[in-house]
Structure formats: structure tokens, C-alpha cells
Structure 1
């Protein structure tokens, strides 16, 4: 009985040598990959060119709401109640361009009052709002 891979009796091997076949297949695969054109995913559009200079940027006005530690709400430095704040916010949302609203609660301000002011701004549908003065909270 003869085992696979041993040729002790001197008989010729009847198996095909697969190494050259694999080498040829790899070379053909590499040639095929090289000849494939590179696919671009860009969409080419002819956009119109602007012949005039762009208009200067519009500096929007900014309104600042400060919530103090004493429980006051200040609209651009003047003390207001929630009804007045809501009226000011609704008027400012009708302006063109809409002014930015900068909300600055002091670090010791009560969260309940800050939450009430945020709810008022949401009810007034404020579009441009941001928190300012966050660096005051770094030590807390």
C-alpha cells in the first residue's frame, strides 16, 4: 500500500503541480485589477458663475438675557418679568434678519428660573439662541 506523498517505489507521480497554475492565475488577477478604470463618485455639475461681488455680511443685532443669582431676568441690561420677556422674544422673531439671543445665566442662578426662561424661549419659537459665559462654570 502506498501513502500519499511518498514515492519510494520509483514510480512516476501522477499529480499535477498546482504552483505554476496558481502563479498564472494571480498574475492574471493583478492585470485585471490594474486595467479596471478608477471609479469616481463625484457628480460633475456646471454651476453658474457669479459675476458681481458678494454683498457685505450683515451684522445681526444680538439680544442678551442674563439670569442673576438674585432671581432677576435682564433683557439687554433691563430687568423684565416673564410676560415682558415673552413679548420681547416674539417681537425680535419678527425682525429681518432675526437677531441672535445670547442666554447667560450666572453660576449661582437657580436652575428653576433658568428652566423657566428656556421654556419661554421655546414657546416664543426662538430660532437663533446660544449660551454665553460658560467659562464661569469651570471652577464649579
Structure 2
């Protein structure tokens, strides 16, 4: 009986392996297959619809709007009525604050009116407890 001690060619270099090691490739393919199976969403045989609920709620009414115009000469118009003093302004604000629901106050100022008049209206509205306050017509000040 003989024993194989080394390479048969007599040289000290090992033989070159000509086959590809396919084990890592198979492992990667299996991992990718498992990830694909997990990430595919399951098929649903029903369609979920969010249907509107029938409510018999009353339609909301339009809010009451008080229009405050500040003229070129700093006169304050409260819904078309000229207010002569700050006391009349405070009384008009108090009357509006007592309304239920509170009205919206839209302030429109003339381009040449002083800021003092607009600030007085806003301060009176804040002191009187009005919370729905808006400034309209500010596009005239864009230029």
C-alpha cells in the first residue's frame, strides 16, 4: 500500500482549483427569496371603504360680521355709523362682545389714515374681550 504525501507533479505549489464555490451564492439567493416573500403584502379579498355617516346636524349659520372702516380723516365707522369718541367705541365693542355667538370684526383702514386710529380699535376690541378680529384690505399697502 502506498501513501500520497504531496503533490504528484513534484513541485511545491498546490494545484489550482477550477470549480466555483457555489455555497455562498446559494445562501445569498435563499436570503433574497425569504426577504421577497416577507415583503410581498398579502392579498385582501375585500375592499375597505370609508362611507360617510349620515348625521342630522343642523347647518352652521353664517357668522355675524361687523365692519369697521377707518376713513382718511381718522373717523371710525362701526357698521356705517360714525363713532365720535373713544367712549362710543368702547360701548360698541362691549355690545358686540355681549352677543352670542361673538361676531367677527373686520377692520378696513384707508391708506392715508393714521395708525393710531387702527391701533385704538384693536386695543378696544382686546380690552372688550372680542376674539374674532381681522384686518381686511391690506393689499392696498403692498406697493
Following TM superposition, the consecutive aligned residue runs of length 4 or more in structure 1 with deviations greater than 6 angstroms are none
Considering only CA atoms, is the larger Rg found in Structure 1 or Structure 2?
Answer: 2
Query: Secondary structure of the equivalent of 2:40?
Result: helix
Q: Which runs of 5+ in 1 are unaligned?
A: 1-7, 39-43
TM-score, normalized by length of structure 2?
0.67
Aligned length: 123
Q: Are 1:86 and 2:90 counterparts?
A: yes
Match of 1:10 in 2: 15
**Two-structure CA RMSD over aligned residues (Å):** 3.1
Change (3 A) 1:23 1:104: same
Q: Name 2:6's counterpart in structure 1.
A: none
1:28 shift after superposition: 0.6
Structure 2, unmatched stretches of 5+, are 1-12, 45-49
Q: Tell me the distance in 2 between the aligned counterparts of 1:121 and 1:10.
A: 97
Mapping for residues 13-92 of structure 1, pairs under 5 Å: 16-17=21-22, 18-34=24-40, 49-50=54-55, 52=56, 54-80=57-83, 81-92=85-96
**Inter-partner Cα distance in structure 2 for 1:13 and 1:85:** 100
